[in-house]
Structure 1
Amino acid sequence: MTRRARGRFIRSALRLTSLRLRLVTVFALVALVAAVSVSGIAYWLNRDAVLTRAQNSALKDFSQALGDGAGGLPEDPACEMLRDMGTIMTSGNQTYQVVLVDRGGEDGDCVIETAPKSFRLDMVPASLVDAVHQRREDTEAPYHLYWQRVEIDGDPYLIGGAQVIDGGPTGYLLASLIPERDDLNSLAWSLGIATALAVIGSALLAQAAATTVLRPVARLSNAAQRLGEGKLHTRLEERGADELAELSRTFNAAAESLERRVEDLRAREAASRRFVADMSHELRTPMTAITAVTDVLEEEVDSLDPMVAPAVQLVVSETRRLNSLVENLMEVTRFDAGTAKMVLDDVNIADQLTHCIDARAWLDAVELDADRTITARLDPRRLDVILANLIGNALKHGGGRSVRVSVREESDEALGRDDVVVEVADQGPGIPQEVLPHVFDRFYKASASRPRSEGSGLGLSIALENAHLHGGEISAANAPGGGAVFTLRLPRQPPSENDEDTDTDGGDDGDGGGAEGGRPGEERSR
């Protein structure tokens, strides 16, 4: 997976885990709460209605049968009479069982159980027995019908009881509520399925709503990404009159304004580059002539009047400085215009360093530690520019002490390549921390008190551009023991797209952008 693909996947995952997921979650929670509330209310209402209807029906039948049977009994009925009464009460209705009790009758205590295996007197709760035998003085009927719901072996039942006449027999019934429980369980399952479907439906609806709402946001995000990548012509389609449409119009207006400003800046930058390039080319011809004259004057300086000789030497040095500045400006314009090319060759790094140091008479001031077998495919002229600038700056700011240059090979696992690493270390005071981030900036001066110096402030920036052209990098740091360390890292095989055999303005065989003719490279700002 490429880096861009991973970035898109991460952004999609973040979008999924943020607004879209929250919207779907809120919809699902609201639907769940609403469905559970409605289902719960519906269940309890139906439960109460079903149980009340079954209970009232059983109690009504029992009360009527108990009244009819007791009406035909004498004051002290015999047990057989109670047994016949119980048989009559349950013969026409199989939904409940009956227990009849007569205390102190003609045959003593008489207990009739129509189904002893299912319903016995000892199964009647004591609280219900007490309520049945409690006489009430505040009503016309001293005894009432009482009932209670109980569970027997895990199944629901209804137990009711009543005393017909004062001191007469008492009847109890046991009615099963299992069918009602099964009906209520079926209802609960139905409501549960309906709740689940409601939640799923709300989640799908939320997904559809989120897609509708977030689609313009996704388009805006993609447009902003393309705009950030430099595609300033990116625009959003303006549809509707809602807040998202207003946001699209605002984005389009901002993008249009940004495009105009960038085009204006590009035009100004291009004009500036053309001006610098034209000025550099126009200056090159007179500078060539002036340089030739100053070379003649320099050769005759010993024969000139002692009062005139210092002025001639100043003119010569300033002419060379101006010539170096023109060459550097021309090199910078090549980098800015993207026309700088490389002429690659197999280069022995140690030999290249020795040649660079020897050509500038630095042999006594540089300690070289390099493996003579390290080679790389580089542009020799541009490598010389880089090395001359780094070593020249180290000599200039090294406090007059020797500069150490070391070369080694390293494998860059992140990029999957082999690199050549050149370290240039001086023994000077080092680079101030506030200056360190700007050492490669063009025309940067560390101190405003000395804006004019021997260098133009372009050498290190040109060295960095040459390193980038090879696919490499230069970094600056301070050594723990003191002094500055510049590290040049170049691939042994540069990118194939830079493998060109032509060089723009290739007639320039000098050290464009580097140290020239034995003089140190450009100034390192400190």
Structure 2
Amino acid sequence: MRDASEGRVRGWLRTLLRLTSLRLRLVTVFALVALVAAVSVSGIAYWLNRDAVLTRAQNSALSDFRKSLGEKATTLPEGATCDDLRVMAAAVANNTLDYDVVLVGEQDTGPICTAESDPSIFELDMVPDALVDAVHERRDDDSPAEYHLYWQRITLHGDPYLIGGTQVIGGGPTGYMLNSLAPERDDLNSLAWSLGIATALAVIGSILLAQAAATMVLRPVQRLSDAAQRLGEGELDTRLEVRGADELAELTRTFNRSAASLERRVKDLSAREAASRRFVADMSHELRTPMTAITAMTEVLEDEVDNLDPMIAPAVQLVVSETRRLNDLVENLMEVTRFDAGTARMVLDDVDIADQVTACIDARAWLDAVEVNADRGIIARLDPRRLDVILANLIGNALKHGGSPVRVTIREETTHDGARNVLLDVADQGPGIPEEVLPHVFDRFYKASASRPRSDGSGLGLSIALENAHLHGGDISARNAPGGGAVFTLRLPREAQPPEDETAGAERRESAPAEGEVR
């Protein structure tokens, strides 16, 4: 179930990454450009066609109305009655354009009669007042026609109409016409739907083209990305086939040149590092034999120091201490070379942590300077020798640079995923570690000489302790306590996992490194 849920999470993450990918942005830009272009073209086409259709319909209706009204007005008798106007209205409305007519017979005193071709459709009250005023307004220019034909588009009962009006020259009636624009509206709606469908098809087509273009453009980029990932994972012989002569091909050539240069540099650095490790290992092994003889001689001298001349005794003591320091340095260098070469192994056993701490302190005569706060019975499966190395370095370091009493606290921890750990705090009573030194306390050969003037170590103890903690799957951290003093926290799993190719017998015969080092 857990693997399935993790697979779904990874799938969602990949989908999210695709949503923010360059491909999506490229397709989105193509689609937006196509949409803007299609909408602009369709809008312009629609408004041009709309104007043309409405203008043609209105000009046709108004022209026919003007012509028919003029022709029929000549047939009116002098002093035409309302019946004559109704006959004329019916005659004018009898047209192929299907518009209705209202005729108004007027005198100076006002309208005398209103004739409607179809009162159920078009009445005089439906004519806008603004149009009536415009029709009755005399023209002041030099045109021979005193009155002009005016028109207006209106909406009645939700449908568009064209309404026009004019006066017959020479004292004839005033005529108004009402022509429905519903057919033109339906034609324009059909045109709008067609343009909308065409716009949608254009956008879909642009998306497909953008997808094809993105695939073609991004395929080399994807190849470069995969090759860069393989290169980052250590496959330094990764190369790409150069295709074409465009910018992407030049980028591929640059990648191949960079990969080849990186491979050469890494090989050179690896060879130098291997040579340095062999040198340190060989030097350590070569020094071990003479150091054994020198150590034996210094032990003899140390035993006889009380019988020596008082002027010579201090020199002998210096030789003895420096010989021991040199011997510790050789042992530390050998331990470091094993870590670097990956040959360090563990021999696991069930260890009572409190007993191990007590044994480490007792073996080094630190019982009076170290306080242990721990319950018996906290058992962990660890390498006892390597745990002793860690404890000796941490406690010895605290005694050298922090001052006694050093307090060692052991406790248990259970993480959120159910893992059980052992935590061991080593706290001293010193001034603490300078903030600028804290990030470097586990670096090899690092010495904070300005703040630790009494340091006589090699700068390898804490580094070796950290490597041993990592070998168990644990870690060591350093911090300053709020009330003063430094605190080193060792975190080890209750069940350490040794390497599969563990060589136990050889490991038991290795000597322990120095018991204390500088921070």
CA-CA distance at 1:504 after TM superposition: 7.6
Cα displacement string for residues 215-263 of structure 1 (whole angstroms, at most 9, x for unaligned residues): 3333333333333333322333322222222222222212211111111
Determine whether 1:183 maps to 2:173.
Answer: no
Residue identity in the other structure for 2:210: A
Q: What stretches of structure 1 move > 6 A for 4+ residues in a row?
A: 1-9, 448-452
Q: Distance in 2 between matches of 1:80 and 1:450?
A: 128
Greater mean deviation of Cα atoms: 160-169 or 464-473: 160-169
Instruction: Report the CA distance shift for 1:143/1:232 in structure 2 as closer, same or farther (over 3 A).
Output: same
Which residue of structure 1 aligns with residue 136 of structure 2?
133
Q: What's the secondary structure of 2:20's corresponding residue?
A: helix
Greater mean deviation of Cα atoms: 95-104 or 475-484: 95-104
CA-CA distance at 1:351 after TM superposition: 0.9
Q: Distance in 2 between matches of 1:133 and 1:504?
A: 124
Contact 1:344 1:500 in 2 (8 A): no
Residue identity in the other structure for 2:468: N
Which residue of structure 2 aligns with residue 230 of structure 1?
234
Q: Distance in 2 between matches of 1:10 and 1:37?
A: 38
Instruction: Report the CA distance shift for 1:88/1:448 in structure 2 as closer, same or farther (over 3 A).
Output: closer
Q: What's the secondary structure of 1:498's corresponding residue?
A: coil
CA-CA distance at 1:352 after TM superposition: 0.7
Residue identity in the other structure for 1:291: T
Q: 1:334 aligns with which of 328, 331, 338?
A: 338
Greater mean deviation of Cα atoms: 63-72 or 481-490: 63-72
CA-CA distance at 1:11 after TM superposition: 7.3
Residue identity in the other structure for 1:232: L
Q: Distance in 2 between matches of 1:260 and 1:7?
A: 36
Which residue of structure 1 aligns with residue 411 of structure 2?
408
Residue identity in the other structure for 1:192: G
Q: Distance in 2 between matches of 1:264 and 1:231?
A: 16
CA-CA distance at 1:286 after TM superposition: 2.0
Q: Distance in 2 between matches of 1:424 and 1:354?
A: 13
Contact 1:407 1:423 in 2 (8 A): yes
Q: Distance in 2 between matches of 1:253 and 1:8?
A: 35
Residue identity in the other structure for 2:322: E
Cα displacement string for residues 386-430 of structure 1 (whole angstroms, at most 9, x for unaligned residues): 10111111111233x21111111011226x411111111111121
Instruction: Report the CA distance shift for 1:5/1:441 in structure 2 as closer, same or farther (over 3 A).
Output: farther
Determine whether 1:425 maps to 2:427.
Answer: yes
Cα displacement string for residues 282-307 of structure 1 (whole angstroms, at most 9, x for unaligned residues): 11122222222322332233333434
Q: 1:34 aligns with which of 33, 37, 59?
A: 37
Q: Distance in 2 between matches of 1:143 and 1:448?
A: 110
Determine whether 1:169 maps to 2:173.
Answer: yes
Q: Distance in 1 between matches of 2:106 and 2:506?
A: 132
Which residue of structure 2 aligns with residue 493 of structure 1?
495
Which residue of structure 2 aligns with residue 96 of structure 1?
99
Q: What's the secondary structure of 2:380's corresponding residue?
A: strand
Q: What's the secondary structure of 2:292's corresponding residue?
A: helix
In structure 2, list runs of 5 or more residues that go unmatched: none
Residue identity in the other structure for 2:176: Y
CA-CA distance at 1:65 after TM superposition: 2.1
Q: Distance in 1 between matches of 2:8 and 2:124?
A: 80
Determine whether 1:395 maps to 2:396.
Answer: no
CA-CA distance at 1:502 after TM superposition: 1.9
Q: 1:469 aligns with which of 461, 471, 474?
A: 471
Which residue of structure 2 aligns with residue 65 of structure 1?
68
Residue identity in the other structure for 1:514: A
Which residue of structure 1 aligns with residue 518 of structure 2?
524
Q: Distance in 2 between matches of 1:291 and 1:91?
A: 135
Cα displacement string for residues 467-487 of structure 1 (whole angstroms, at most 9, x for unaligned residues): 000001011111111111111
Q: What's the secondary structure of 2:92's corresponding residue?
A: helix
CA-CA distance at 1:379 after TM superposition: 0.4
Residue identity in the other structure for 2:25: R
Residue identity in the other structure for 2:28: T
Q: What's the secondary structure of 2:503's corresponding residue?
A: coil
Instruction: Report the CA distance shift for 1:139/1:347 in structure 2 as closer, same or farther (over 3 A).
Output: same
Contact 2:101 2:175 in 1 (8 A): yes
Residue identity in the other structure for 1:255: A
Counting only pairs closer than 5 Å after superposition, residues 368-387 of structure 1 correspond to structure 2 as 368-387=372-391
Which residue of structure 1 aligns with residue 326 of structure 2?
322
Instruction: Report the CA distance shift for 1:3/1:97 in structure 2 as closer, same or farther (over 3 A).
Output: closer
Q: Distance in 2 between matches of 1:215 and 1:4?
A: 26
Which residue of structure 2 aligns with residue 440 of structure 1?
442
Q: What's the secondary structure of 1:100's corresponding residue?
A: strand
Which residue of structure 2 aligns with residue 264 of structure 1?
268
CA-CA distance at 1:206 after TM superposition: 2.8
Instruction: Report the CA distance shift for 1:348/1:384 in structure 2 as closer, same or farther (over 3 A).
Output: same
Which residue of structure 1 aligns with residue 511 of structure 2?
510
Contact 1:341 1:503 in 2 (8 A): yes
CA-CA distance at 1:443 after TM superposition: 1.2
Which residue of structure 2 aligns with residue 249 of structure 1?
253
Instruction: Report the CA distance shift for 1:329/1:434 in structure 2 as closer, same or farther (over 3 A).
Output: same
Q: What's the secondary structure of 1:81's corresponding residue?
A: helix
Q: Give the TM-score normalised by the residue count of structure 2.
A: 0.91
Instruction: Report the CA distance shift for 1:340/1:359 in structure 2 as closer, same or farther (over 3 A).
Output: same
Contact 1:425 1:484 in 2 (8 A): yes
Counting only pairs closer than 5 Å after superposition, residues 140-219 of structure 1 correspond to structure 2 as 140-219=144-223
Instruction: Report the CA distance shift for 1:316/1:367 in structure 2 as closer, same or farther (over 3 A).
Output: same
Residue identity in the other structure for 1:479: A
Contact 1:470 1:498 in 2 (8 A): no
Q: How many residues align?
A: 513
Q: Distance in 2 between matches of 1:501 and 1:216?
A: 46
CA-CA distance at 1:64 after TM superposition: 2.6
Q: What's the secondary structure of 2:225's corresponding residue?
A: helix
Q: Distance in 1 between matches of 2:505 and 2:142?
A: 122
Which residue of structure 1 aligns with residue 290 of structure 2?
286
Identity of aligned residues (%): 74
In structure 1, list runs of 5 or more residues that go unmatched: 516-520
Q: Give the TM-score normalised by the residue count of structure 1.
A: 0.90
Contact 1:101 1:110 in 2 (8 A): yes
Contact 2:305 2:316 in 1 (8 A): yes
Greater mean deviation of Cα atoms: 500-509 or 39-48: 500-509
Q: Distance in 1 between matches of 2:29 and 2:236?
A: 38
Cα displacement string for residues 129-178 of structure 1 (whole angstroms, at most 9, x for unaligned residues): 33333344612333333322211122111112232232122222111111
Q: Distance in 2 between matches of 1:510 and 1:23?
A: 64
Greater mean deviation of Cα atoms: 244-253 or 14-23: 14-23
RMSD value, Cα: 2.7
Instruction: Report the CA distance shift for 1:379/1:83 in structure 2 as closer, same or farther (over 3 A).
Output: same
CA-CA distance at 1:368 after TM superposition: 0.8
Q: 2:127 aligns with which of 121, 124, 128?
A: 124
Contact 1:342 1:500 in 2 (8 A): no
Contact 2:61 2:97 in 1 (8 A): no
Instruction: Report the CA distance shift for 1:501/1:34 in structure 2 as closer, same or farther (over 3 A).
Output: closer
Residue identity in the other structure for 1:433: E
Q: Distance in 2 between matches of 1:173 and 1:507?
A: 117
CA-CA distance at 1:499 after TM superposition: 6.2
Which residue of structure 2 aligns with residue 518 of structure 1?
none
